[in-house]
Amino acid sequence: MRTRRQVGLYLHIPFCRSKCHYCDFNSYSNQGDLIPAYLKTLKREIERYSRDASLRVKTIYIGGGTPTVLSGGDVADVLNTIRGCQAGSARQAGSARQAGSARYEIGKEAEITIEANPGTLDEFKLMELKAAGINRLSLGLQAMDDFLLSRIGRRHQVKDGLNAYYSARQAGFDNINCDLLFGLPAQKLSDWERSLTTVLDLEPEHLSLYCLTLDPGKQWNARLAKDRPTEEKELAMYDLAIDYLTENGYEHYEISNFARPGYRSIHNRIYWQNEEYLGLGAGAWSYLDGRRYSNPSHPKAYIENGTKGEWPAADEESLSTRRTIGEAIMLGLRLVEGIKVAEFNNRFKIKLGNMFSFPIRRLERDGLLEINNGHLRLTRRGLHLADTVALEFI
């Protein structure tokens, strides 16, 4: 019997009502007329992989863009396409027997997440999403200050974020992540503390906190960079968040992520543990059999290829064993608990301490890494310089 490949499934919805000033994601505004053809192509791609692979889907993550520009019915239709490709489903049973191919297998307790922006939600849509099987909502609040939201080009106001959160609770969502940004133009430490306090009063199960990053080549980013806090102040904001959230019962389990006990992100952990994932949709990346590849970024190109039944990779690379190990270290060190050295050695048939003895010793000496209870992990100071540490292993 064929062993099923366990993967995280990522679905990309690249459409937005408007593009935020700082956004560097693969997203497009004023392209809503493409949505029907895009969803048709996405469903074709879902069915294509159900024919070509034997997959056990651990998690489903619908990201963007703003996936909630879709109707609740559209989201349900996409998820039902995946379910329709499950082994033994009535829809696919006949063709599965004829082709002799396996189908998706979705765990009964699979985490199914959708990203959402407050301005695209109402109570009815949230109820539709819940009925469709979404069991985790990631809400892009970003800031709890109307002036700061306006500065970075967000369409919603604080009241919209609060209303969306309360409506999600009314709809039955009991696993909600809230995204917040720090290091915003003109943002003060007191502004950041107020955002944290306001969101903590909501009692979300999960918080993702990111420092604003800007591509200097973009016009809006040059303007935003002028009023940004200093690096020292950004680190102070980060440290404030760590202390405040851990004091209030959240586990700081990854550089940017905090969770109530039992609510850590399962899907994102697949990335951090360098496990396999399948990405579907425009610009989505997959990582299977040591090969990393992506779809064309623009939805028009994605639709054109899919309509012709062609699925060329826009970009791809086969990772060497050395590169795979280096990336596994880089990603694993994002987890606050770090890398379980014995498990890592067994997985890659190496001795981590021998293969990377020089950088590990030097980073330990510099106070950036430590080995504790069999885990190689970043120190508190190392969390500030995680990117610098990662370069030592790539």
| In the block, residue with structure tokens 């939600």 | 121
Q: Are 12 and 42 in contact (CB under 8 A)?
A: no
| pLDDT confidence of residue 23 | 58
30 C-beta neighbours (distance < 10 Å), count: 10
User: Using CA atoms, how far apart are residues 92 and 150, in angstroms rounded to an integer?
Assistant: 48
Say what the pLDDT of residue 335 is: 98
Contact 142, 117 (CB under 8 A): no
Domains of the chain and CATH, by start: 5-272 (3.80.30.20), 338-394 (no CATH)
Q: Are 160 and 189 in contact (CB under 8 A)?
A: no
Amino acid 16: pLDDT? 86
Mean pLDDT of successive 10-residue segments in the chain (394 residues)? 79 83 69 94 92 80 95 96 69 39 75 96 97 97 94 90 97 98 95 97 98 70 77 97 98 98 98 96 95 95 93 93 96 97 97 95 97 96 96 92
Q: What is the pLDDT of residue 5?
A: 80
Among 381, 393, 280, 390, smallest CA distance to 326 is for 393
Token pair belonging to 145: 């200050």
